[in-house]
Amino acid sequence: MTDLKLLDGAMGSEFIRRGEILPPHTWSADVNLTNPDLLYGIHQEYVTAGVDYLTTNTFRTTPRAYQKTGLSYKEAHSTAKISMHNAVQMARKASNDSIKILGSIAPLEDCYSPDLFPGADLATKEFSVITEWLADERIDIFLLETMNNILETKTCLDVVEKYKLPIWVSFNLLDSDHIQSGELLKDAIKMVNKFSVDCILLNCNPLNRTFGALETLARHCSGKWGIYPNLGVGEPSPDGIIKDYHSDAEFIDLTKNAVKLGATVVGGCCGSNPKHIELLKNLIL
**pLDDT band for position 238 (50/70/90)?**
confident
* The pLDDT of residue 285: 66
Say how far apart CA 46 and CA 42 lie, in whole Å.
Answer: 6
Using DSSP's 3-state secondary structure scheme, residue 236 falls into coil
Rounded (5°) CA angle 51-54-59: 140
100 φ, ψ (degrees, to nearest 5): -95, 145
pTM of the model as a whole: 0.96
Give CATH superfamily name and number for 5-284. Answer: Homocysteine-binding-like domain (3.20.20.330)
Say how far apart CA 115 and CA 93 lie, in whole Å.
Answer: 37
The total number of residues written for the chain in this structure = 285
* Mean pLDDT across the chain: 96
Across 219-227, average pLDDT: 97
* The pLDDT of residue 240: 75
Say how far apart CA 107 and CA 117 lie, in whole Å.
Answer: 8
Across 64-87, average pLDDT: 98
Amino acid at 210: T
